[in-house]
């Protein structure tokens, strides 16, 4: 048996019997605001070094995305998300090659960090003379936009679907869950691949078809999780009290149940961004979605497919965008790993 630490687990309120050496645990503003369960989750998230590295990585990429125009400015007539091309030569060029056509403006940091007066291709150019550095920097924006939009949309759909299913229960619940089963049969990559391929001729080559496809087949997990949480909260006394006092169904659901059940799903969703970015990159790697030359990491990597036998010489067309993507996803996964420990019901109640 372990001995319970006196500073923890003290019933609040009555402290007359406690000696001077035992202090009440201070409850901060944040804890009061979030409630003990949610506070424990937030605290657990920043506890381990791994999750701190994760937060750092995500923060780092967020900064790059925000300040992308300062790091490397778009070349005027082009759309900012279009990677500038230094000519039309097909073969990749090594890092350090001089940049001749479609040269971006000189940013303030360039001379101090590189010591050069002229733009060079810092990470080389890929197939078709697309600058890799530009693609990596502006691809960060694509990663965050697609990740955020898809995650928010899937989260909302999942929460609404799962709540309705759980709240009504019975036949409705059973039916809605069977629909989920059907939607989850096909592997999500394949399902999204098909839908994106059907949608592409309709709305043209852009980020949209892939995003819609990822949303359509991405929300089922959230629906399942929130359903489980709601089922347990539904049985609590305060819900019964609301029912007895004649509160409308929709009001009970949206004002009483969802706010109490949503937190774990919310946190999971915020960490799903990494996975979304992975799927998005995978589809664009296969050639579905954005038009050639759009700044997104999957597209940059797909250029490498035509140079597989000479990757020994052209290593930079894989290594730079590849490492960027891995670090980005790893950032989210490190946070997610800490999250899993915190949310694991078997770990609940342990500090």
216-226 as b/e: b if 16+ CB within 10 A: bbbbbbbbbbb
Would residue 106 be called left, alpha or beta, if left means φ above 0 and alpha means ψ between -120 and 50 degrees?
beta
Instruction: Tell which residue, 114, 131, 112, has the closest CA to residue 123.
Output: 131
231 binds other proteins (CB under 8 A): no
Q: Which is nearer to other proteins, 211 or 233 (CB)?
A: 211
Q: Does 267 bind other proteins (CB under 8 A)?
A: no
* Interacting residue with other proteins among 65, 257, 267, 329 (CB under 8 A): 329
d(CA 291, CA 283): 12
- Segment contacting other proteins by CB under 8 A, of 98-106, 244-252, 263-271, 318-326: 318-326
Q: Is 179 in the site for other proteins (CB under 8 A)?
A: yes
**Residue 305 binds other proteins (CB under 8 A):** yes
Does residue 286 belong to the site contacting other proteins (CB under 8 A)?
Answer: yes
Size of the site for other proteins (CB under 8 A): 53
- Going by C-alpha positions, the residue among 228, 224, 218, 226 that lies closest to residue 254 is 226
Contacting residue, 301, 320, 339, 342, with other proteins by CB under 8 A: 301
322 binds other proteins (CB under 8 A): yes
Q: Report the residue number, 31 or 337, with the smaller CB distance to other proteins.
A: 337
Q: How near is the Cβ of 50 to other proteins at its closest, in Å?
A: 7
CB-based contacts of 260, cutoff 8 Å, min separation 6: 233
Q: How far is the CB of 336 from other proteins (least distance, A)?
A: 9
The verdict on 312 binding other proteins (CB under 8 A) reads yes
Which one-letter DSSP state was computed for residue 254? I
Site map 123..162 versus other proteins, x via CB under 8 A: ----------------------------------------
C-alpha span between 252 and 233 (Å, rounded): 12
Cα 157 to chain centroid distance, Å, stands at 16
Do the beta carbons of residue 287 and residue 302 sit within 8 Å?
yes
d(CA 339, CA 343): 6
Q: Please say which residue, 156 or 177, places its beta carbon nearer to other proteins.
A: 177
CB closer to other proteins, 195 vs 258: 195
What DSSP element (H or E) covers 135? helix 132-168
- 73 vs 330 by CB, closer to other proteins: 330
Give residue 5's region: left, alpha or beta (phi > 0; psi -120 to 50).
beta
Binding mask 15-54 for other proteins (x = CB under 8 A): -----------------------------------x----
Candidates 194, 231, 247, 343; binder of other proteins (CB under 8 A) is 194
User: Closest distance between other proteins and the C-beta of residue 187, in Å?
Assistant: 6
Q: How far is the CB of 17 from other proteins (least distance, A)?
A: 34
Q: How far apart are CA 237 and CA 233, in angstroms?
A: 9
Candidates 35, 36, 169, 187: give the one binding other proteins (CB under 8 A). 187
Gap between the Cα atoms of 129 and 216, Å rounded:
35
Cα–Cα distance measured from residue 283 to residue 302, given in angstroms and rounded to the nearest whole number: 10
Which one of residues 17, 185, 237, 244 is an interface residue with other proteins (CB under 8 A)?
Answer: 185
Under the binding rule (CB under 8 A), the answer on residue 346 touching other proteins is: yes
Residues sharing a CB contact under 8 Å with residue 12, sequence separation 6 or more, in sequence order: 24
CB distance 153 to 269 below 8 Å: no
CA 346 to chain centre: 26
Question: How many CB atoms neighbour CB 324 within 10 A?
Answer: 23
**What is the binding site for other proteins (CB under 8 A)?**
50, 178-179, 181-183, 185-187, 189-191, 193-202, 274, 278, 281-282, 285-288, 301, 304-305, 308-313, 315, 318-319, 322, 325-327, 329-330, 333-334, 337, 344, 346
């Amino acid at each position: 048996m372990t001995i319970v630490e006196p500073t923890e687990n003290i019933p609040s309120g009555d402290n007359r019997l406690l000696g001077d050496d035992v202090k009440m645990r201070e409850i901060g503003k944040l804890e009061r605001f979030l409630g003990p369960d949610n506070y424990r989750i937030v605290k657990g998230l920043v506890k381990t070094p791994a999750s701190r590295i994760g937060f750092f990585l995500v923060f780092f990429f967020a900064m790059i995305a925000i300040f992308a125009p300062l790091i490397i400015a778009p070349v005027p007539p082009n759309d900012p998300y279009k990677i500038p091309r230094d000519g039309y030569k097909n073969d990749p060029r090594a890092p350090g090659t001089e940049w001749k056509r479609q040269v971006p403006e000189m940013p303030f940091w360039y001379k101090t960090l590189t010591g050069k007066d002229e733009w060079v291709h810092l990470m080389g150019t890929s197939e078709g003379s697309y600058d890799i550095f530009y693609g990596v920097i502006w691809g960060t924006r694509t990663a965050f936009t697609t990740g955020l939009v898809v995650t928010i949309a899937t989260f909302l759909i999942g929460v609404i679907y799962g709540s309705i299913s759980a709240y009504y229960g019975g036949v409705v619940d059973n039916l809605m869950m069977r629909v989920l089963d059907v939607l989850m049969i096909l592997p999500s990559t394949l399902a999204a691949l098909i839908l994106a391929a059907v949608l592409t001729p309709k709305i043209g080559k852009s980020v949209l078809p892939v995003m819609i496809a990822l949303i359509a087949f991405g929300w089922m997990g959230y629906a399942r999780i929130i359903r489980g949480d709601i089922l347990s909260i539904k049985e609590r006394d305060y819900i019964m009290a609301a029912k007895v006092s004649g509160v409308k169904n929709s009001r009970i659901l949206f004002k009483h149940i969802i706010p109490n059940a949503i937190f774990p799903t919310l946190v999971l969703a915020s960490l799903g961004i990494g996975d979304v970015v992975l799927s998005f990159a995978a589809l664009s790697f296969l050639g579905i979605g954005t038009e050639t030359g759009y700044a997104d990491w999957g597209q940059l990597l797909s250029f490498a497919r035509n140079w597989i036998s000479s990757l020994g010489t052209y290593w930079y067309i894989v290594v730079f965008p590849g490492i960027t993507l891995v670090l980005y996803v790893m950032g989210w996964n490190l946070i997610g790993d800490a999250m899993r420990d915190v949310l694991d019901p078997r770990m609940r109640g342990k500090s």
